[in-house]
Structure 1
Amino acid sequence: MNTRALLLLLGMASAQAEVVVVVSAKSPVAKLEKAQVVDLYLGVSKELPGAGQAQLLAAAPPLRDEFYGKVLGKEPSQVKAIWSRLIFSGKGVAPKELGSAADIKSALAGNPNAVAYLDKADVDASVKVVFSP
């Protein structure tokens, strides 16, 4: 492998986001365990502990794909298949995908039962981190 290719690979590795799961700063939820996050985002559970029915929010790729891999341990196609089955059977509503961190934080601010994931660099006082892989 030549030096240029190695530098490109190193640059790509350092460009990956640090994904964290967040809720509104006003949410009663203080912490989630990994299993709770996985259950929510794979449709096993609909309840946000201590806050009622969860409204799941999702980021667009590449952050979404990183969240799927790092937190859920799944490929995007696997998660899509799971949600397709849940939606078809009437047992779930897929996470609402929003285009930017600002859109996600705005949606969180309006709903204390909403949960989302962001790049740690986008976290501010409007949200609180409840899970960090």
Structure 2
Amino acid sequence: MKLKLCFVTLTLMSHLAIADIAVIVHPSNANAMDASAISRLFLGKSKKFPDGTVAIPLNQAEASSATGLFNSKALKKSSSQLKAYWSKLVFTGKGTPPRSVESDIDVLDLVASNPNIIGYIDSAALTDKVKVLTTF
């Protein structure tokens, strides 16, 4: 019985450890972006895709596991670091954080309907309605 419990626990934990975050755009978006360019968009340092079109970054709710992974893997910041970062920019009038939605499904629907939106989801939620730029 202990062996089964140990196996189930390890299996569940290994799933969490290999979770990937996919950065997605509309299928018609021909831009290629590296991790640095993606980070600049989501930190408000850039407002355009490499081809010059307007980019609209889309976050998920702070409580989302995808958000935590994206923040740590792509932005290299913790939740508290990001709160401080955005508080400073908002207070000085130099920036506004990206709009947030509740779930992977919301991000998928919005990205699939607008070529200017860039978002991120758990890679397990991917569909053919969007194009993957990169995974973290």
Tell me the TM-score normalised to structure 1 length: 0.84
1:80-126 deviation digits (Å, cap 9, x = unpaired): 21122222222222111111222111111232111001111111111
Moved more, 92-101 or 46-55: 46-55
For structure 2, list consecutive stretches of 5 or more residues without a partner in the other structure.
none
Q: Which amino acid aligns with 2:106?
A: D
> How far apart are the structure 1 equivalents of 2:114 and 2:135?
21
Structure with max Cα Rg = 2
More strand by percentage: 1
1:35 alignment partner in structure 2: 36
Runs of 4+ in 1 over 3 A off after TM superposition: 2-10
Which of residues 65, 69, 89 in structure 2 aligns to 1:66?
Answer: 69
Partner of 1:79: 82
Q: Deviations over 1:15-69 (max 9, x none)?
A: 252101110112232x210110111112221212225222111123211011111
- Aligned-pair distance for 1:9? 5.8
Identity across matched positions, percent: 32
- Structure 2 residue 124 is the aligned partner of structure 1 residue 121: yes
Q: Indicate conservation of the 8 Å contact 1:25/1:109, yes or no.
A: yes
Structure 1 CA distance for aligned equivalents of residues 66 and 39 of structure 2: 16
Segments of structure 1 that go 5 or more residues without pairing to the other structure are none
RMSD between superposed Cα atoms in Å: 2.1
Superposition map of 1:1-133 within 5 A: 8=9, 11-16=12-17, 17-29=19-31, 31-50=32-51, 52-60=53-61, 61-133=64-136
122-131 or 52-61: bigger deviation: 52-61
